[in-house]
Amino acid sequence: MDSQPKLRVLFSRQEIAATVSRLATEISQDYHDKYPLLISILKGSFMFLADLIRHLDFPLEVDFIGLASYGKGRHTSGKIKVVQSLRSPIKDREVLVIEDIVDTGLTTAFCLDYLRQKKPASLKLCVLTDKPSRRQVPVTIDYLGFTVPNKFLVGYGLDWDEKFRNLPDICFIEDED
Ligand code: 5GP
């Protein structure tokens, strides 16, 4: 069996809950009368989406898109493809993309370009964690939870080789000596 990495908590479940609530307030102000479509990028943002929408008490719809980039390693290949398509037409919809983490920006930039081609009425981005030190392409984040250091994060939906998504806190993997 693989040796398990050492994990340290970066953001506790209480800090995450407060941040999700703050984001929901911002989103509510802008979208309460817009009947938006929230598009969650799988798999990492499912937990964030689930917590976020419980704070949104206005009509909305949810859809999911699956993108693949990382494979099993820690670094992006830079090649991104759609592995699970949207169910909903997004033409003329007010679309808000829900993303777990922006690292190099390649995945999010690809996703926004892909969605923009389908001619939504508007397209904005809500991101739980942003790692700006690693950016390769610019990405405009409209609603941001946390800015994070250049560490590999797991928990609260984020995985390491498909593991640790179920951790309620956001943790980082300590570098091995
Ligand atoms: P980007 O294309 O911005 O480099 O990376 C976006 C995707 O890479 C994220 O959706 C996520 O799947 C993965 N990723 C980037 N940084 C991390 C990280 O620190 N932890 C985990 N678990 N995934 C990451």
pLDDT, one tens digit per residue, over 108-147 is 999 999 999 999 999 999 999 999 999 999 999 999 999 9
Ligand 1 center–CA 17 separation, angstroms: 21
Q: Determine whether the shortest distance from the Cβ of 102 to ligand 1 is under 6 A.
A: yes
From the CB of 108, is ligand 1 less than 6 Å away?
Answer: yes
Q: For residue 6, how far is its CA from the centre of ligand 1 (angstroms)?
A: 19
Task: Give the strands of the sheet with 7-11, arranged side by side.
Answer: 7-11, 170-173, 153-154
Parts of the chain with a pLDDT under 70: 1-2, 70-77, 176-177
What is the rounded distance in angstroms from the CA atom of residue 81 to the CA atom of residue 12? 32
Atom from ligand 1 closest to the CA of residue 45: 10
Phi, psi of 56 (to 5 degrees): -100, 105
Q: Which fold has domain 19-152?
A: Rossmann fold (3.40.50)
Rounded distance between C-alpha atoms, residue 80 and residue 167, angstroms: 26
**CA 33 / ligand 1 centre spacing (Å):** 32
Break the chain into its structural domains and give their ranges.
19-152
Q: Which residues pair with 125 in a beta bridge?
A: 97
Q: What is the DSSP string of 17-69?
A: HHHHHHHHHHHHHHHTTT--EEEEEETTTHHHHHHHHTT--S--EEEEEEEE-
**Ligand 1, residues 76, 112, 172: which to mutate, most atoms within 8 A of Cβ?**
76
Query: Dihedrals φ, ψ of 126, to 5°?
Result: -120, 125
Q: Is the dihedral of CA 29, 33, 39, 45 positive or negative?
A: positive
Nearest ligand 1 atom to the CA of 43 is 12
